[in-house]
Structure 1
Amino acid sequence: MEAYDCIVVGAGIEGSSTAYNLAKNGQTTLLLEQFPLPHSRGSSHGQSRITRMAYGGADYYTDMMKEAYKLWEELEQRSGKILYKKTGLLVVGKAESDLIDGTIQALRKYSVPFTSLDEDALRSKYPMLTYSGVKGVEDHVGGVLFADKALAAFQSEFVKCGGIIRDNEAMTDIFPGDIVTVKTNKGSYRGRNLVLTVGPWATKVLPPLGVHLPLKVVRISVFYWKEKIAGTYGAESFPTFLTASGSGDFDVYGLPSLEYPGLYKLCLHHGPEIDPDKRDMADSNWVLNNMKTFVARHFPMLEPHPAITETCIYTNTPDHDLVLDRHPAWRNIIIGAGFSGHGFKLSPIVGKVLSELVMKKTPSYDMSHFRIDRFQKSSKL
């Protein structure tokens, strides 16, 4: 049985981007997915995600996003699909908060066009919001990524480059070595390298390999709220949205009414901890109650109860930085995990750097923020 240059396990946005980057660089690549594609059981489904340059307190992501925008545009051109809509991004927070100050510093450092809004200017420009004692920052290149189209584009371009996708095929075992053997419920495959981008299932796949990351898997409730007057929060009049409740980091996000006519997407960035194979058993009533209170207080032109509720899964690290690294013992096993609810927009860069690790190239970015051993004090490595 001939060995692939690389086997990628997990065909979410990170694995699909990685597989595409490998195939584009002439690597024979197999992409394995446990569920039939497309599916809604992980973290990459749905129609929309926020994209932004604004990263207060972690400006290395702003640096990465400068190239990510270019790579999204390249994927648009290659696939012939529109994947991004520029709406701008509005960040709202306490005037002296880390969120606001950090956002301004990051945008200024990387010469990203932005506008600061004091409370009066915020109220004047966005009368559909009710806030006091806050400040706004507009990231003018923020917007919406069309998530399902982006995922399909990576996968279709991967196949065009000669890649092979096998979906509805669950991995059952890994046998490390100079040639890695991956067993599934349907067969066995050999690869000179293995990339594991298995989303929330990292909590189950990695420990048998001796990698014990402090990951927390949470279920996010995705709420859609009916506008009292259609178009109030539409993409032509209202940007994507982030805010904080005082902790510094953002914890509520919103996207214009694009997916469902007249319904605005507004969600809490937290949720109950779950087992990904028992995702519907957790109680998330507290999430709904918090968001109903938030809507009543700050979004007066939305109806008080969500019209539609969907779900997504985050796999969070304690510091909310990604894990992009080699296995500490088997250097031909590459791990991408812990995307912490903000990895989708970064996926072109994630795919690029994971493929660089596979091909033994120097990564294009400083990887020190993303190393496995940063958790050494709290892990068994």
Structure 2
Amino acid sequence: MENSREVYDVVVVGAGIEGSATAYHLAKSGKHVLLVDQFPLPHSRGSSHGQSRITRKAYGPQDFYTRMMDEAYRLTEVLQAECGEQLFIKCGTLVFGRYDDPFTVGTEDCLRRFNVPFEKFGSAEQRRRYPGMEFPKDFTFVLDKTGGVLRADKMLQAFQKQFVRYGGVLVDGEPMKELLPGEIVTVRTPRRMFRGRSVVLALGPWAANFLPTIGVDIPLQPTRTLVCYWRERGCSRTFDVSRFPTIITENANESHHIYGLPVVEYPGLVKICLHTGPDVDPDRRDAVDSRWVEDRMRAIIAQNFPGLDPTPAVTETCIYTMTPDHDPVLDHHPAWKNIVIAAGFSGHGFKLSPVVGKVLSQLATGQTPEYDMSHFRLARFHKHKL
């Protein structure tokens, strides 16, 4: 049993990828840190489970993300060396759309500005290289050669294991019921209280319900996404990770944003998903109807991926927590500077997690991050209720 009088330097609430990365950086810097999660670990109820995520450097006109991703790549290499496991598979990321598609054009511009190795080609070359998919002849294809796959579950476990190795305390199965601000912040669970000089709230989809209880109203909307795996036709291995990149397009079938990953999880199954879904309460995640997501994806697969069976072989679920501008909040509480909020990663937080964890650790210990944090401020929503 924890000593209720013990005071940690930092208490991190939420052991998803952002909270675990934050706790890792704090413990590695010598801080006395507690990482606490509401569910027994590992679990699949939030946003950080699953075996794979896309990573890439280009973010269109959002240069601040590309600058962060440069460090995220370096920090991932450090974590790989520490844990002794491969966390990143370099297979490239293929972004594509019509010739005037802002996302594709912005990606190419970004890659040029930052001198990231890439190739650009048309539909004939695409069909020669990647014959398992077909898109209109006026599409342009931009291959970020530095992109690829993060082995997500291994990366999450690596952050947690290294956190403990550096002296951190990990407690799971204890949901936060109340947060008591003050010079020493108290986190109350059903069993006990934890105290810290500062706290980082990395609550995932539960942030939407909890943050208003401490006077912060961010327009957060949890969304239930459907993760679909499609079986390759025949035995061509067209979609094997050694031959096929990760893919992203916002032009598929009436401008629906889809993303995909090669065969890296289930044998012979390719992960291709819609980047949206129905709004959801994370505590009632199975109460929503997401059949329309699967129907839309079936149509896209049938039309654009002749190398795949248009009936999903496996479906799983995940939760995004969306903000109106799709950028997260990384900021201090407006009244209590020793409470740091991390919320609203909008489905693209995993790849950023190594550097986001570093930034949050700096905010929690009174340091100033070297990045322009104006993109992540609470104040941009003008909805504080103190």
Pair in the same fold by TM > 0.5 = yes
Query: 2:13 aligned with 1:4, yes or no?
Result: no
TM-score where L is the length of structure 2:
0.96
For 2:294, what is the secondary structure of its paired residue? helix
Query: 2:209 aligned with 1:204, yes or no?
Result: yes
Q: Tell me how far apart the structure 1 counterparts of residues 140 and 189 of structure 2 sit (CA, whole Å).
A: 52
Deviation at 1:147, TM superposition (A): 0.5
For 2:239, what is the secondary structure of its paired residue? coil
Retained in 2: the 8 A contact 1:122–1:135? no
Mapping for residues 147-226 of structure 1, pairs under 5 Å:
147-226=152-231
Q: 1:375 aligns with which of 355, 378, 381?
A: 381
Retained in 2: the 8 A contact 1:99–1:250? no
Mapping for residues 1-381 of structure 1, pairs under 5 Å:
1-132=5-136, 133-230=138-235, 231-245=237-251, 251-376=257-382, 380=385
Moved more, 100-109 or 54-63: 54-63
Deviation at 1:125, TM superposition (A): 2.1
Retained in 2: the 8 A contact 1:94–1:246? no
Deviation at 1:379, TM superposition (A): 5.7
For 2:158, what is the secondary structure of its paired residue? helix
Q: Tell me how far apart the structure 2 counterparts of residues 18 and 250 of structure 1 sit (CA, whole Å).
A: 33
AA of the residue aligned to 2:92: G
Q: Tell me how far apart the structure 2 counterparts of residues 316 and 114 of structure 1 sit (CA, whole Å).
A: 30
Q: Tell me how far apart the structure 2 counterparts of residues 124 and 79 of structure 1 sit (CA, whole Å).
A: 38
TM-score where L is the length of structure 1:
0.97
Deviation at 1:248, TM superposition (A): 11
Moved more, 332-341 or 231-240: 231-240
AA of the residue aligned to 2:46: G
AA of the residue aligned to 2:31: Q
Closer, same or farther: CA 60–249 of 1 in aligned 2, 3 Å: farther
Q: Tell me how far apart the structure 2 counterparts of residues 84 and 107 of structure 1 sit (CA, whole Å).
A: 20
Q: Tell me how far apart the structure 1 counterparts of residues 253 and 346 of structure 2 sit (CA, whole Å).
A: 17
Deviations 1:176-226 (A, max 9, x none): 001001100111011000000000000111001010000110001000000
For 1:131, what is the secondary structure of its paired residue? coil
Deviations 1:87-109 (A, max 9, x none): 10111111111111110111111
AA of the residue aligned to 1:74: V
Retained in 2: the 8 A contact 1:57–1:98? no
Q: Tell me how far apart the structure 1 counterparts of residues 150 and 204 of structure 2 sit (CA, whole Å).
A: 20
Deviations 1:139-177 (A, max 9, x none): 001100001000000000000110000000111111000
Stretches of structure 1 that go unaligned for 5 or more consecutive residues are none
Retained in 2: the 8 A contact 1:327–1:335? yes
Q: Tell me how far apart the structure 2 counterparts of residues 380 and 356 of structure 1 sit (CA, whole Å).
A: 25
AA of the residue aligned to 2:16: G
Moved more, 113-122 or 27-36: 113-122
For 1:251, what is the secondary structure of its paired residue? strand
AA of the residue aligned to 1:166: V
Moved more, 120-129 or 232-241: 120-129
Aligned residues: 380
Deviation at 1:247, TM superposition (A): 11
Deviation at 1:355, TM superposition (A): 0.4
Deviation at 1:62, TM superposition (A): 1.0
Deviation at 1:81, TM superposition (A): 1.1
Deviation at 1:58, TM superposition (A): 1.4
AA of the residue aligned to 1:206: L
AA of the residue aligned to 2:244: F
Q: Tell me how far apart the structure 1 counterparts of residues 288 and 105 of structure 2 sit (CA, whole Å).
A: 36
Deviation at 1:30, TM superposition (A): 0.3
Deviation at 1:119, TM superposition (A): 2.6
Retained in 1: the 8 A contact 2:257–2:275? yes
Deviation at 1:304, TM superposition (A): 1.2
Q: Tell me how far apart the structure 2 counterparts of residues 82 and 366 of structure 1 sit (CA, whole Å).
A: 31
Q: Tell me how far apart the structure 2 counterparts of residues 227 and 311 of structure 1 sit (CA, whole Å).
A: 21
Deviations 1:35-63 (A, max 9, x none): 00000000000000001112113121111
The sequence identity of aligned pairs, in percent, is 55
For 1:171, what is the secondary structure of its paired residue? coil
Q: Tell me how far apart the structure 1 counterparts of residues 312 and 375 of structure 2 sit (CA, whole Å).
A: 37
Q: Tell me how far apart the structure 1 counterparts of residues 385 and 341 of structure 2 sit (CA, whole Å).
A: 17
For 2:18, what is the secondary structure of its paired residue? helix
Retained in 2: the 8 A contact 1:219–1:314? yes
Moved more, 113-122 or 91-100: 113-122
